[in-house]
A = this chain, B = another copy of it.
Amino acid sequence: MPWFQTTVRLAARRRGFHLVTDEILAAIPEIESLSVGLLHVFIQHTSASLTINEDADPDVRVDFETAMNHAVPESLPYVHTMEGPDDMPAHVKASMMGSSVSIPIANGRLATGTWQGIYLCEHRNRAGSRSVVVTAWGEAR
Protein backbone atom coordinates (compact mmCIF):
# COMPACT_ATOMS: atom_id res chain seq x y z
CA MET A 1 0.00 0.00 0.00
CA PRO A 2 1.56 3.31 -1.02
CA TRP A 3 2.29 6.03 1.54
CA PHE A 4 3.20 9.61 0.72
CA GLN A 5 4.34 12.16 3.28
CA THR A 6 5.80 15.62 3.06
CA THR A 7 6.17 18.75 5.15
CA VAL A 8 4.76 22.03 3.85
CA ARG A 9 5.69 25.51 5.10
CA LEU A 10 2.53 27.55 4.78
CA ALA A 11 3.26 31.21 4.08
CA ALA A 12 2.87 33.50 7.10
CA ARG A 13 -0.59 35.00 7.43
CA ARG A 14 -2.16 37.69 9.54
CA ARG A 15 -4.46 36.68 12.39
CA GLY A 16 -7.61 35.16 10.97
CA PHE A 17 -8.87 32.30 8.86
CA HIS A 18 -7.27 31.54 5.51
CA LEU A 19 -7.87 29.09 2.67
CA VAL A 20 -4.84 26.85 2.09
CA THR A 21 -6.33 24.02 0.04
CA ASP A 22 -4.23 24.81 -3.01
CA GLU A 23 -0.97 25.08 -1.09
CA ILE A 24 -1.58 21.69 0.45
CA LEU A 25 -2.71 19.89 -2.68
CA ALA A 26 0.27 21.23 -4.63
CA ALA A 27 2.55 19.52 -2.13
CA ILE A 28 1.04 16.07 -2.54
CA PRO A 29 0.16 15.40 -6.21
CA GLU A 30 0.43 11.67 -5.47
CA ILE A 31 -3.20 11.77 -4.31
CA GLU A 32 -4.13 11.21 -7.93
CA SER A 33 -2.45 7.80 -7.84
CA LEU A 34 -4.85 6.49 -5.18
CA SER A 35 -8.17 4.88 -5.99
CA VAL A 36 -9.28 5.01 -2.35
CA GLY A 37 -7.47 6.38 0.69
CA LEU A 38 -7.12 9.15 3.22
CA LEU A 39 -5.39 12.52 3.31
CA HIS A 40 -4.22 13.66 6.74
CA VAL A 41 -2.97 17.20 7.35
CA PHE A 42 -1.36 17.98 10.70
CA ILE A 43 -0.14 21.35 12.00
CA GLN A 44 2.99 21.30 14.15
CA HIS A 45 1.95 24.30 16.27
CA THR A 46 -0.32 24.98 19.23
CA SER A 47 -1.52 28.52 18.53
CA ALA A 48 -2.68 27.90 14.97
CA SER A 49 -4.99 25.17 13.76
CA LEU A 50 -6.69 23.53 10.80
CA THR A 51 -10.33 23.09 9.93
CA ILE A 52 -12.57 22.47 6.95
CA ASN A 53 -15.22 25.02 6.07
CA GLU A 54 -16.88 27.14 3.39
CA ASP A 55 -14.44 28.15 0.66
CA ALA A 56 -16.55 30.49 -1.47
CA ASP A 57 -17.40 33.68 0.45
CA PRO A 58 -14.44 35.44 2.14
CA ASP A 59 -16.90 37.02 4.58
CA VAL A 60 -17.29 33.64 6.23
CA ARG A 61 -13.63 33.72 7.22
CA VAL A 62 -14.04 37.24 8.64
CA ASP A 63 -17.01 36.09 10.74
CA PHE A 64 -15.08 33.08 12.01
CA GLU A 65 -12.66 35.49 13.65
CA THR A 66 -15.57 37.40 15.25
CA ALA A 67 -17.20 34.23 16.56
CA MET A 68 -14.04 32.65 17.93
CA ASN A 69 -13.06 35.88 19.70
CA HIS A 70 -16.49 35.79 21.34
CA ALA A 71 -16.18 32.15 22.38
CA VAL A 72 -12.65 32.56 23.76
CA PRO A 73 -12.22 36.20 24.84
CA GLU A 74 -8.86 37.78 25.61
CA SER A 75 -10.37 39.32 28.74
CA LEU A 76 -10.55 36.15 30.86
CA PRO A 77 -8.33 35.93 33.98
CA TYR A 78 -5.56 33.90 32.36
CA VAL A 79 -2.37 32.96 34.22
CA HIS A 80 -0.23 32.34 31.12
CA THR A 81 0.08 35.93 29.85
CA MET A 82 3.78 36.59 29.26
CA GLU A 83 3.44 36.02 25.51
CA GLY A 84 0.70 38.64 25.17
CA PRO A 85 -3.10 38.72 25.52
CA ASP A 86 -3.63 36.89 22.21
CA ASP A 87 -1.51 33.89 23.19
CA MET A 88 -3.64 31.94 25.65
CA PRO A 89 -6.87 32.38 23.62
CA ALA A 90 -4.85 31.17 20.62
CA HIS A 91 -4.11 27.87 22.38
CA VAL A 92 -7.75 27.30 23.30
CA LYS A 93 -9.05 28.20 19.85
CA ALA A 94 -6.45 25.85 18.34
CA SER A 95 -7.87 22.94 20.35
CA MET A 96 -11.45 23.88 19.53
CA MET A 97 -10.68 23.84 15.81
CA GLY A 98 -8.18 20.97 15.96
CA SER A 99 -4.60 20.22 14.97
CA SER A 100 -5.48 18.04 12.00
CA VAL A 101 -8.01 17.43 9.27
CA SER A 102 -8.53 14.13 7.51
CA ILE A 103 -10.31 13.80 4.19
CA PRO A 104 -11.27 10.70 2.21
CA ILE A 105 -9.69 10.14 -1.21
CA ALA A 106 -11.80 8.59 -3.99
CA ASN A 107 -10.64 8.00 -7.58
CA GLY A 108 -7.54 10.11 -7.20
CA ARG A 109 -9.31 13.14 -5.74
CA LEU A 110 -10.37 14.48 -2.38
CA ALA A 111 -13.97 13.45 -1.72
CA THR A 112 -14.88 16.89 -0.38
CA GLY A 113 -18.23 18.58 -0.88
CA THR A 114 -18.69 21.39 -3.39
CA TRP A 115 -18.02 24.20 -0.92
CA GLN A 116 -15.38 22.67 1.35
CA GLY A 117 -11.86 24.00 1.67
CA ILE A 118 -9.03 23.64 4.19
CA TYR A 119 -8.53 26.62 6.50
CA LEU A 120 -5.37 27.63 8.27
CA CYS A 121 -6.65 29.24 11.46
CA GLU A 122 -3.98 31.74 12.54
CA HIS A 123 -4.80 32.68 16.12
CA ARG A 124 -1.73 34.84 16.91
CA ASN A 125 -1.43 38.57 16.16
CA ARG A 126 2.01 38.09 14.69
CA ALA A 127 3.15 34.70 13.49
CA GLY A 128 5.65 33.37 11.02
CA SER A 129 5.12 30.60 8.53
CA ARG A 130 3.43 27.46 9.84
CA SER A 131 4.59 23.92 9.27
CA VAL A 132 2.14 21.14 8.35
CA VAL A 133 2.82 17.44 7.82
CA VAL A 134 0.78 16.07 4.93
CA THR A 135 0.29 12.29 4.72
CA ALA A 136 -1.69 10.30 2.16
CA TRP A 137 -2.12 6.54 1.97
CA GLY A 138 -4.46 4.11 0.29
CA GLU A 139 -4.88 1.69 -2.55
CA ALA A 140 -3.11 2.34 -5.85
CA ARG A 141 -5.33 2.97 -8.88
Contact = CB atoms under 8 A, between A and B. Distances in A.
A120 interface: no
A63 B114 CA distance: 31
Contact of A40 (B1, B80, B102, B114): B102
B92 A135 contact: no
Contact of A80 (B43, B63, B131): B63
A95 B94 contact: no
Contacts of A73: 70
A76 B70 CA distance: 8
Interface in A91-123: 91-92, 94-104, 106, 111-116, 119
A97 B95 contact: yes
Contacts of A42: 102-104, 111
Interface string A53-78: 11001011011101110111100111
A31 interface: no
Contacts of A51: 95, 98-99
A52 B95 CA distance: 7
User: Which 9 A-B residue pairings sit nearest by Cβ, starting from the closest?
Assistant: A44-B113, A59-B80, A51-B95, A59-B79, A67-B92, A46-B54, A52-B99, A63-B78, A104-B133
